[in-house]
Amino acid sequence: MHNSPHPRPRLRGLLAAVGCVALGAGLLAGAGSATATPTAGKSEAAAGSKVVGYFTEWGTYDRKYYVKNIETSGSADRLTHINYSFGNVTGGKCAMGDAYAATDRAYTAAESVDGVADTWDQPLRGNFNQLLKLKKQHPDLKVLWSFGGWTWSGGFAEAAKDPAAFAQSCYDLVENSQWADVFDGIDIDWEYPNACGATCDTSGRDSFPKLMSALRAKFGPDYLVTAAITADATDGGKIDAADYAGAAQYVDWYNPMTYDYFGAWEAAGPTAPHSPLTSYDGIPKQNYDTSATIAKLKGLGVPAEKLLLGIGFYGRGWTGVTQDAPGGTATGPAAGSYEQGIEDYKVLKDKCPATGTVGGTAYAKCGNDWWSYDTPATIAGKMTYKNEQGLGGTFFWELSGDTADGELIRAIN
């Protein structure tokens, strides 16, 4: 029915089909409160306390996850920032993703944040108007517009040729007078600078800092500028392909996508948790774990307070699995509600409850299916790690994967 981009979790399984073997390090991007240059009027969250959740533009379709659900689940009280995903990147410029979902869809009273129905003649409807209503109820909540993502990252190669023109286009779109009060900043989700994702980029190691520098110059110190970045900590891998340390001075924070390390795009297995906190005996690939990612970025000189810890509110799974412990063989991806090999936490917690833990995350064996996902208990362990490392906070993909009463986001807090 709609042309919205699918998030990285949805397209992962297609990678083998398109012949592009991508590192599973992530989905999306981040948000923040200005740490580099605090300004009067911007309430600053204490170090380590940022909680950034992705809200997907297309979630209002099949998932029927509305901005109102952020409120009714209790998530709005716990979030510091929302990353609205995704805007497109095309022709070297920032562009609207799905205009109908963003600004046109009429919400009924029952669907609306404040219980007031949209009218045919109001100037702004859609997700953007609902976000305005949510911000009225939560004045400290900040919203960033996230651009790119797995599907639309191919546009950054063109944008990198003229960063100033790109930054101007993004500013003009984010600050469009029709929705000027919705957004407090911009998040860039380029998968991946000078490396391969759904497409391959050869713009050079310095293209990312040039792009982020142009965005900071245009948006200035009062806006948030953040980025979701790869979690590939291997030698010569995706972190090494771009100058993330050099660009750190321009961002309020990074969201290293510390999930999707492993998944059923490797159809025969071995089974492995998609978001391990630490390595473990038998992990299929070294430096494919959260602590390796954080250690590598800190070692390059990225300040700890500019790194947020990434959590997936979903699981990844295989079928045709006989072995309970990780490392088993499989015959392909397990069935999922919207895509093979992936399922929301809110479904998995009942459908395939966790049977064990490995590398600081959980796994579950039910019938012939094997899943891995984070639970409130494993998130608590990751929060201990986040605090020990002095990280700036936590981000997650994405809000609709949580239970109706916000079980996972409560574990973050």
- 269 assigned to some structural domain: yes
Identify the band that residue 37 occupies on the pLDDT scale cut at 50, 70 and 90: very low
Q: What is the pLDDT of residue 34?
A: 35
- 338 assigned to some structural domain: no
Q: What is the pLDDT of residue 48?
A: 86
3-state helix, strand and coil shares in percent for the chain, rounded to the nearest 5: 30, 20, 50
| Between 30 and 204, residue with greater pLDDT | 204
Among 96, 84, 188, 95, residue whose Cα is nearest residue 142: 84
- 135 assigned to some structural domain: yes
Identify the DSSP state of 13.
G
Please state, as a whole number, how many other Cβ atoms lie within 10 Å of the Cβ of residue 139: 7
Average pLDDT, the chain: 91
Convert the pLDDT of each residue in 367-386 to its tens digit: 999 999 999 999 999 999 99
Mean pLDDT of 160-188: 98
Q: What is the pLDDT of residue 47?
A: 62
Q: Measured between alpha carbons, how far apart are the two ends of the chain, in Å?
A: 37
Residue 118 neighbours by CB under 8 Å, 6+ apart: 106, 107, 108, 112, 125, 129
Structural domain count, the chain: 1
Mean pLDDT of 303-327: 98
Catalytic residue among 57, 71, 111, 191: 191
Mean pLDDT of 237-257: 98
Mean pLDDT of 255-268: 98
Convert the pLDDT of each residue in 48-100 to its tens digit: 899 999 999 999 999 999 999 999 999 999 999 999 999 999 999 999 999 99
Q: What is the pLDDT of residue 46?
A: 57
- Whether 191 is catalytic: yes
CA angle (373, 280, 273) in 5-degree steps: 20
Convert the pLDDT of each residue in 98-150 to its tens digit: 999 999 999 999 999 999 999 999 999 999 999 999 999 999 999 999 999 99
- 281 assigned to some structural domain: yes
Residue 28 pLDDT exceeds 80: no
Supply 206's token pair. 């310095």
What does the alpha-carbon distance between residue 227 and residue 258 come to, in Å, rounded to a whole number? Answer: 14
Nearest 5°: phi and psi at 11? Answer: -95, -10
Supply 157's token pair. 């190669």
Kind and range of the H or E element at 366? strand 361-366
Q: What is the pLDDT of residue 413?
A: 73
What does the alpha-carbon distance between residue 365 and residue 317 come to, in Å, rounded to a whole number? Answer: 10
Convert the pLDDT of each residue in 142-167 to its tens digit: 999 999 999 999 999 999 999 999 99
- 24 is in which domain, residue-wise? 8-312+390-412
| Between 310 and 31, residue with greater pLDDT | 310
Radius of gyration of the chain, Cα coordinates, nearest whole angstrom: 20
Looking up residue 12, the CATH number of its domain turns out to be 3.20.20.80
Helices (H), 27-79: 67-72
Among 287, 269, 266, residue whose Cα is nearest residue 278: 287
- 357 assigned to some structural domain: no
- 46 assigned to some structural domain: yes
% of residues, the chain, pLDDT over 90 = 88
% of residues, the chain, pLDDT over 70 = 89
Residue 197 pLDDT exceeds 60: yes
Please state, as a whole number, how many other Cβ atoms lie within 10 Å of the Cβ of residue 175: 15
Convert the pLDDT of each residue in 388-402 to its tens digit: 999 999 999 999 999
pTM for this one?
0.90
- 288 assigned to some structural domain: yes
Residue pair 169/94 in contact (Cβ under 8 Å)? The answer is: yes
